[in-house]
Amino acid sequence: MEVTVFNITGKETGRKAELKDTVFSIEPNDHAIYLDVKQHLAKQRQGTHKTKERSEITGSTRKIKRQKGTGTARAGSIKNPLFVGGGRTFGPQPRDYSFKLNKKVKLLARKSALTYKAKDNEIMVVEDFNLEGPKTKEYASILSNLKIGDKKTLLVLREPNKNIYLSSRNLPNTKVVTCSELCTYDIMNSTSLVFVESSLEHIQKSL
């Protein structure tokens, strides 16, 4: 599959970029995508939730009423989970939600996500560019020239570029990542995936 290479003014350069079938045209595996996205979201969780159990509640340990003869259930402590202000039974405790996922599964998930984007014609290739300084208006103008200003865009760079990153940071629905940071979640979460030529070449070699 071949796609047209554009420049930042939105005009065609007259060149084509090849999307290798081994990366952008495989048999997609939905379950691999699900697992990779699930792992990504699990890693984002702080896991610092905590409630107090009955042993951690401050309160008297005195038996609050006699055992028999009251006509109600027996009760031995004001910290009983059945009472208002008592401890919580089996409440959430701090934990790590992350889990292991095999590298081959993550690789398959990324290729599957890229395949879906290629099938939906949501991949665009732009020739390498740089900005003289952090300028949000200039970056927004580039997206507008490429006719993707109203879409959720993901720009993939070969190497970190501070000016481009800072220029995009204040725009909604826009994200800039490097090849090493590209993940299945970001691919699936975007509606327009934009590669610069050098990043596309690197991605196809690494995958």
Are 12 and 125 in contact, with CB atoms under 8 Å apart? no
> Which residue, chain included where needed, has tokens 């951690």?
56
Please report the pLDDT score of residue 33 as a whole number. Answer: 97
Please report the pLDDT score of residue 1 as a whole number. Answer: 83
**Could you tell me which residues come within 8 angstroms of residue 140 by beta carbon, excluding any fewer than 6 positions away?**
149, 171
Per residue in 91-123, pLDDT tens? 999 999 999 999 999 999 999 999 999 999 999
Please tell me the distance from the alpha carbon of residue 186 to that of residue 196, in angstroms, as a whole number: 16
Please tell me the distance from the alpha carbon of residue 183 to that of residue 166, in angstroms, as a whole number: 20
- Residues in the chain where the model's pLDDT stays below 70: none
Please report the pLDDT score of residue 86 as a whole number. Answer: 92
Please report the pLDDT score of residue 175 as a whole number. Answer: 95
Q: Which residues pair with 84 in a beta bridge?
A: none
Do residue 74 and residue 9 come from a single domain?
no
Please report the pLDDT score of residue 207 as a whole number. Answer: 85
Do residue 63 and residue 103 come from a single domain?
no
Domain containing 154: what range?
2-46+98-206
Do residue 181 and residue 163 come from a single domain?
yes
Q: Which two tokens stand for residue 56?
A: 């951690």
Residue 86 φ/ψ, nearest 5 degrees: -80, 175
Q: What is the pTM of this model?
A: 0.85
**Could you tell me which residues come within 8 angstroms of residue 203 by beta carbon, excluding any fewer than 6 positions away?**
23, 156, 179, 182, 195
Do residue 113 and residue 61 come from a single domain?
no
Please tell me the distance from the alpha carbon of residue 206 to that of residue 5, in angstroms, as a whole number: 21
Please tell me the distance from the alpha carbon of residue 33 to that of residue 108, in angstroms, as a whole number: 8
Count of domains observed in the chain: 2
Q: Which residues pair with 177 in a beta bridge?
A: 156
Beta-sheet strand order (sheet of 123-126)? 12-18, 2-6, 123-126, 192-196, 153-157, 174-178
Do residue 31 and residue 56 come from a single domain?
no
Please report the pLDDT score of residue 73 as a whole number. Answer: 92
CATH at 105: 3.40.1370.10
